[in-house]
Amino acid sequence: CPASPAAPLVFTMLQLTRVYRGNSMFRGNASLNGQLSHLLEDHNVTQVLPLEPPDAWARRKDEVVAYLKNFRQLVQLFNKERPTNFTQHLCCHLGCRLFPNGTAQSFYEVTLNRTAFLSFHVPNATWERRWPGELPVAAFAQAQLMKYPITTEDLQYFLNTTCVSILQAQSARTGEVSGRSRAPLVLGLILGSLALLGMALGIFLCTGGSC
């Protein structure tokens, strides 16, 4: 359905990761103003909208698949050190909104086992704990993420600038989606950022144990 003139334009990205006994399963998608642009099913990532030419998309797809394989191997490695017999669900939801008056709003939210876990405060480029009550793993993951520029300054730039520019191009388009080379970067950067969340695999390891 066409958006209302008063409604904001929106770019959203979602990655769901399920971990059980060292096995990782992935699902996700990205959408541009309500229209599906990318799909992720385990190691199969698909560009639904033709936002990149085939050769460029082939390179992007290889990068995404390589990230997912590394993430899976990391989970397996840590599981050997501290086996877990219960399922963990990690959900990352992020994106930006562009309002008709030209203002923008960006967000990045992480839930663990369907409970608010972390969020990224874009203006200050800081990660904040959202878990109700004290949880060592939340503090551990927050500290790990704050160590790396890709999850602070780079992520802030991506959400405030790159993501918003996609919507500005969409707002000004005449016939087809603009910014062909930038929109697919969203999916790659999302997964790249999650690699560092994966480094803080205390998410999967510290729960129920000591960090």
Which domains can be identified in the chain, with CATH numbers? Answer: 9-174 (3.30.500.10)
Full-model pTM: 0.75
In this structure, of 51-55, 64-68, 125-129, 193-197, the range with the lowest mean pLDDT score is 193-197
Residue 122 has pLDDT above 90, yes or no: yes
Residue 108 has pLDDT above 60, yes or no: yes
pLDDT in tens, 9-47: 998 888 888 888 878 888 888 888 888 988 889 888 888
Across the chain, mean pLDDT equals: 76
Taking the C-alpha atoms of residue 30 and residue 167, their distance in angstroms, rounded to an integer, is 13
Return the higher-pLDDT residue of 108 and 200.
108
The pLDDT assigned to 179 comes to: 43
Return the higher-pLDDT residue of 70 and 146.
146
Crossing angle between the packed helical segments 183-199 and 136-145, to the nearest 10 degrees: 130
Residue 139 has pLDDT above 60, yes or no: yes
104: confidence class by pLDDT, cuts 50, 70, 90 = very high
Residue in this structure with the two tokens 């160590």, named with its chain if needed: 147
- DSSP bridge pairs for 11: 32, 96
Q: Of 170, 189, 172, 192, nearest to 11 (Cα)? A: 170
Structure token pair of residue 14: 């979602």
The Cα diameter of the chain in Å comes to 56
